[in-house]
Structure 1
Amino acid sequence: MLCNNRKGNVVEPILNKDQISELLLAIKSGQVSTDLQGEGDSVDRASVQSINLFQLGSGSDSQQRIPNFDIILDNFAQNFAITLTNLLQRSFTVTRAGIEPFEFQEYLVSQKDAGAIGVLSLDPLKNGALMLLDGELCFSLIEIMLGASTEMAPLHLDRKPTTIELNVLKSTMIRACRDIDKALEQVIALETTVIKVESNPRLVSIAEPDAEILVGSFIIKVGDLSGKFDMVFPVATLDPVREKLRDLLTVKTVKQSGWYDVLVREMEQMTTTIIAQSGTVTMPVHKVMKLKKGDVITLNYDPNSPLKVLVEENHKFFAIPGTIRGKRAIHLTGVYDQGE
Structure 2
Amino acid sequence: MDPSQVKIPPMKDQTVDNITDNVITINSLCEDERMKYILERLVTHLHDFARETRLSGDEWMTGLRFLTEVGQICTDVRQEYILLSDVLGLSILVDSIDHPKPKGSTEGTVLGPFHTHDAEEMPPGDSMSHDPKGEPLLVVCTLKDMAGRPIEGVKIDIWETDSTGHYDVQYAGREGPDGRCIMRSDGSGVFWFKAITPVPYPIPHDGPVGRLLKKLHRHPYRPSHMHFMFEKEGYDHLITYVFFFFLDIGDVANLRSALYLRNDPYETSDAVFGVKDSLTVDIGKADAEIAKKYNVPEGHALLTYDFVLVSDEETSQLRAHNSKIALDKLGRKVKIVNGLPIPDLD
Query: Structures share a fold, TM > 0.5?
Result: no
TM-score, normalised relative to structure 2: 0.22
